[in-house]
Chain A
């Protein structure tokens, strides 16, 4: 059966056979970069459309339904519109930082792609500190957001950026602690190890209630980290007129918009890898026949299915819950999520030491 692993191996062998090793490595870099950019572009188109459709159905509407069948080409049309628009820089803005900010945000989300395992043995860079890398690099994007807010020379933008800073910095804690619970159970920071440890069952099933709690905390924290409703205080259309990207237009705005959706994808991919076994198929104990059928589904489909399920969950949150106030937001983190996740971490540690998980 043709898998992504075979394709990459074939390309690797062919490049090494035809070119010198250094040149082969260089051309592999180019190919990977091209693949990453095209993945981003398609993800942006698909996720924006998915968001609008999910939102519409949850609000008893139809959503985009004019461009193409069922409105499938709506986001393509929107992208064409955004490309044609003028990228305006306001007069009082800090021009250099203003133009740099969207790229910082975008690069931060692109870097996060490196250690994610998309399919069996299909990973850009399998570093042994994968989880640490992910949680460290994901906080770089706040610099881009602060930069955008400051350089816009606009009080709404600055307010939005400061809120975003407070929010991301505080929610990183509980996101990090809930990631650590899985690291404790696995005993490794390497993402391929974490996925392999779930061969006989995903952590969400193997880890009983403590892992379920840490999953709930994780999904709340990453919703806040990606600045999505109900934690979208940084944008807050109705009070801050889109916050940190008020002054952006055209493709620079599109980059912010795209990076929001890429961040969602990456956060959900991390969640799927840690709690739902990444590309591991769904196996039930000793049901050999059932397990074999599940193995026939390609691993990339498993990964994408889980990730899109989590993305749907986050969209479900967005279109159900009202936005929190700033004090409520910080209360939720410091008074509820952080104490619970710390207690939960203790519980998981005891569980891992005593071997109470499957």
Chain B
């Protein structure tokens, strides 16, 4: 039986090697499959993948309204203190005091793009944007305020 297994081994080995060579041979003969992005040249037409995580953004609609309630779930979820939310109290039209964000501080230089804040957000107010050209000359520029000036929470988001 040893000799049968031995010969079987050889054929199995050769077959698996040939399967591997078939795949690389296919790629070699089909240059259309090449996925290289010639980055600085195709900067205008570059489309990043859907799953790419470049930085955290707070989504604003055309009325300059966002969905952040200031619950600071993202701040708690962040493993390295990238997000800091400073809250304020607003008085709404019914005359009640209501919590709202004053500034949504985001330290890009600390962020590892782990996506935990986006998962933690109960109102889907924040999202990962596919931008990646983050280099600046001054480190202070990496500390960003994500809510636009004058923005306020969308009506109906609790």
Residues on A lying within 8 angstroms of B by beta carbon are: 54, 57-62, 316-317, 319-321, 336, 340
Residues on B lying within 8 angstroms of A by beta carbon are: 10, 17, 20-21, 23-25, 27-28, 31, 33-36, 38
**A residues in contact with B17, CB < 8 Å:** 320-321
From DSSP, what is the main secondary structure of chain B's interface residues? helix
Q: A58-B27, A61-B36 are in contact. List 9 more A-B contacts (CB 8 A).
A: A57-B31, A57-B34, A58-B28, A59-B27, A60-B33, A61-B35, A317-B21, A320-B17, A320-B21
Q: Identify the closest chain A residue to B13 (Cβ).
A: A336
Asked whether, in the complex, the Cβ of B34 is within 8 Å of the Cβ of A61, the reply is: yes
**A residues in contact with B34, CB < 8 Å:** 57, 60-62
Q: Identify the closest chain A residue to B17 (Cβ).
A: A321
Q: Identify the closest chain A residue to B26 (Cβ).
A: A58
Task: Please measure, in the bound complex, the distance between the C-alpha atom of A265 and the C-alpha atom of B98, giving whole angstroms.
Answer: 78
What would be 7 A-B contacts, judged by CB atoms less than 8 Å apart?
A58-B24, A58-B27, A60-B35, A61-B35, A61-B36, A62-B36, A336-B10
Task: Please measure, in the bound complex, the distance between the C-alpha atom of A58 and the C-alpha atom of B38, giving whole angstroms.
Answer: 18
Asked whether, in the complex, the Cβ of A320 is within 8 Å of the Cβ of B36, the reply is: no
Task: Please measure, in the bound complex, the distance between the C-alpha atom of A336 and the C-alpha atom of B10, giving whole angstroms.
Answer: 8
Asked whether, in the complex, the Cβ of A320 is within 8 Å of the Cβ of B10, the reply is: no
Asked whether, in the complex, the Cβ of A57 is within 8 Å of the Cβ of B10, the reply is: no
**B residues in contact with A317, CB < 8 Å:** 21
Asked whether, in the complex, the Cβ of A321 is within 8 Å of the Cβ of B20, the reply is: yes
**A residues in contact with B21, CB < 8 Å:** 316-317, 320
Given contacts A321-B17, A336-B10, are A54 and B28 in contact (CB under 8 A)? yes
**B residues in contact with A61, CB < 8 Å:** 34-36
Q: Identify the closest chain A residue to B33 (Cβ).
A: A60
Separation in Å of the B37 CB from the closest CB of chain A?
10
**B residues in contact with A340, CB < 8 Å:** 10
Given contacts A321-B17, A336-B10, are A316 and B31 in contact (CB under 8 A)? no
Task: Please measure, in the bound complex, the distance between the C-alpha atom of A319 and the C-alpha atom of B23, giving whole angstroms.
Answer: 11
Task: Please measure, in the bound complex, the distance between the C-alpha atom of A61 and the C-alpha atom of B24, giving whole angstroms.
Answer: 12
**B residues in contact with A54, CB < 8 Å:** 28
Task: Please measure, in the bound complex, the distance between the C-alpha atom of A336 and the C-alpha atom of B11, giving whole angstroms.
Answer: 12
Partner of B25, one of A59, A60, A316, A321: A316
**A residues in contact with B28, CB < 8 Å:** 54, 57-58, 316
Task: Please measure, in the bound complex, the distance between the C-alpha atom of A58 and the C-alpha atom of B26, giving whole angstroms.
Answer: 8
Task: Please measure, in the bound complex, the distance between the C-alpha atom of A59 and the C-alpha atom of B27, giving whole angstroms.
Answer: 7
Q: Identify the closest chain B residue to A335 (Cβ).
A: B6
Given contacts A57-B31, A336-B10, are A319 and B36 in contact (CB under 8 A)? no
**A residues in contact with B25, CB < 8 Å:** 316
Asked whether, in the complex, the Cβ of A316 is within 8 Å of the Cβ of B24, the reply is: yes
Task: Please measure, in the bound complex, the distance between the C-alpha atom of A320 and the C-alpha atom of B16, giving whole angstroms.
Answer: 11
**A residues in contact with B36, CB < 8 Å:** 60-62
**B residues in contact with A320, CB < 8 Å:** 17, 20-21, 23-24
Task: Please measure, in the bound complex, the distance between the C-alpha atom of A336 and the C-alpha atom of B25, giving whole angstroms.
Answer: 26
Task: Please measure, in the bound complex, the distance between the C-alpha atom of A59 and the C-alpha atom of B24, giving whole angstroms.
Answer: 7
Interface centre among B20, B28, B31, B38 (most CB of A within 10 A): B28
6 residue pairs, one from A and one from B, having the closest CB atoms: A58-B24, A320-B24, A62-B36, A320-B20, A57-B28, A58-B28
Task: Please measure, in the bound complex, the distance between the C-alpha atom of A317 and the C-alpha atom of B17, giving whole angstroms.
Answer: 9
Task: Please measure, in the bound complex, the distance between the C-alpha atom of A62 and the C-alpha atom of B36, giving whole angstroms.
Answer: 6
Separation in Å of the A253 CB from the closest CB of chain B?
28
Asked whether, in the complex, the Cβ of B10 is within 8 Å of the Cβ of A319, the reply is: no
Separation in Å of the A54 CB from the closest CB of chain B?
7
Interface centre among A54, A60, A317, A340 (most CB of B within 10 A): A60
Task: Please measure, in the bound complex, the distance between the C-alpha atom of A57 and the C-alpha atom of B38, giving whole angstroms.
Answer: 15
**A residues in contact with B27, CB < 8 Å:** 57-60
Q: Identify the closest chain B residue to A59 (Cβ).
A: B27
Task: Please measure, in the bound complex, the distance between the C-alpha atom of A62 and the C-alpha atom of B35, giving whole angstroms.
Answer: 8
